[in-house]
Structure 1
């Protein structure tokens, strides 16, 4: 769950102008591993699945409408304004050598898709937003990513150090404080109510990092 907090925090903000900061002294650590993970993910296939589902599935349309709404952005802004959120970002930068703020900003583009005017060739399964998640997970090479992570963890001192600190009581207390925040709980409950299988996402992340 502590690793999920780092990954889940990469989902809001505005596009960043510069590359990630907070680099480890040897150039290793979490950030270059994340970049290698990204290179393994077939983003074109995922985008086709997403756009197909957005044009044909009412549940996915409802989820994306909520994620792009001012209501959701207000909830996100409330979470980001909490001292526990800033503490998490500071800890990620100074102790984990992970520029979480940069990745927040980078992934914000998910909430600003232009209007879809054509239908991609990919065919998404029926079953709402959870079905879309399952389709996406099928094209992500989870086992290959897990193997790469284990290889890096065995050889990179700063990645080892990062995960020692992720499993520390200090980081656990930071995450627990954020998880207990009413705005954060409300955001998860709203996503669950729209059909977002939060537990499926958590389980998939845990398969990679545990």
Structure 2
């Protein structure tokens, strides 16, 4: 479950001035795997779905309006200020060789969130934001992504180390602190209230990253 929570957070990420940092000494690890994942996703079709929903679906419009509001900005700012969030970014960079801040800052560029820094035409099948999410997830080649990850795990030492550390007690403590944080849970509950199926996102990620 720890890996699912962590990678769900990363899903919030992708436009920064520079590419991701925090890379493993051998150039391997989680970072290049994520970059290969992105290359396998038909981003043009995903964008078409999003733009169509944003202009035609009231629920999706409500979600996007909330995500770009000053209210949500304050929620995100509060989450970023929590020690658990800062510990997560630091652990990702120094121990997992993964620039989580870079991925988070993609949404910062889209919605105007405060940036964070490392310390060291298709219609939705159903109305609503969940329908949009289901259509996007259908475009993601889950089996192909999982096969790629399994292949990398056999040969990439730093990727193996990253997964060991994700399952360590130290990382577990960081995730538990984040899960118990009131600001973080308020953000998730507000998104759920707007129709964002947070659990569906986690379940989809689990199919790829489950050992």
TM-score, normalisation: structure 1: 0.91
Which residue in the other structure is 2:133 paired with? 133
Which residue in the other structure is 2:83 paired with? 83
Which residue in the other structure is 2:207 paired with? 207
Which residue in the other structure is 1:170 paired with? 170
Paired residues for 1:1-210 under 5 Å? 1-10=1-10, 15-111=15-111, 121-210=121-210
CA distance in 1 between counterparts of 2:12 and 2:207 reads 24
CA offset digits 1:174-195 (Å, max 9, x no partner): 0000110000000000000001
Change (3 A) 1:10 1:197: same
Is the Cα–Cα contact under 8 Å of residues 29 and 156 in structure 2 kept in the other structure? yes
Q: CA deviation at 1:18?
A: 1.7
Q: CA deviation at 1:74?
A: 0.6
CA distance in 2 between counterparts of 1:11 and 1:42 reads 16
Is the Cα–Cα contact under 8 Å of residues 16 and 109 in structure 2 kept in the other structure? no
CA distance in 1 between counterparts of 2:196 and 2:83 reads 27
Where does the alignment leave 5 or more consecutive residues of structure 1 unmatched?
A: 113-120
Is the Cα–Cα contact under 8 Å of residues 11 and 108 in structure 1 kept in the other structure? no
CA distance in 2 between counterparts of 1:193 and 1:146 reads 31
Is the Cα–Cα contact under 8 Å of residues 93 and 100 in structure 1 kept in the other structure? yes
Is the Cα–Cα contact under 8 Å of residues 4 and 209 in structure 2 kept in the other structure? no
CA distance in 2 between counterparts of 1:199 and 1:86 reads 24
Q: CA deviation at 1:23?
A: 1.1
CA distance in 2 between counterparts of 1:12 and 1:80 reads 13
SS of equivalent residue, structure 1 residue 126 = coil
CA distance in 1 between counterparts of 2:14 and 2:45 reads 24
Where does the alignment leave 5 or more consecutive residues of structure 2 unmatched?
A: 113-120
Q: CA deviation at 1:9?
A: 2.8
**How many residues align structurally?**
202
Change (3 A) 1:13 1:150: closer
Q: Which deviates further from its counterpart, 14-23 or 190-199?
A: 14-23
Q: CA deviation at 1:6?
A: 2.6
Q: CA deviation at 1:11?
A: 5.9
Is the Cα–Cα contact under 8 Å of residues 89 and 101 in structure 2 kept in the other structure? yes
Cα RMSD (Å) = 1.6
CA distance in 2 between counterparts of 1:56 and 1:23 reads 41
SS of equivalent residue, structure 1 residue 27 = coil
Q: CA deviation at 1:8?
A: 3.0
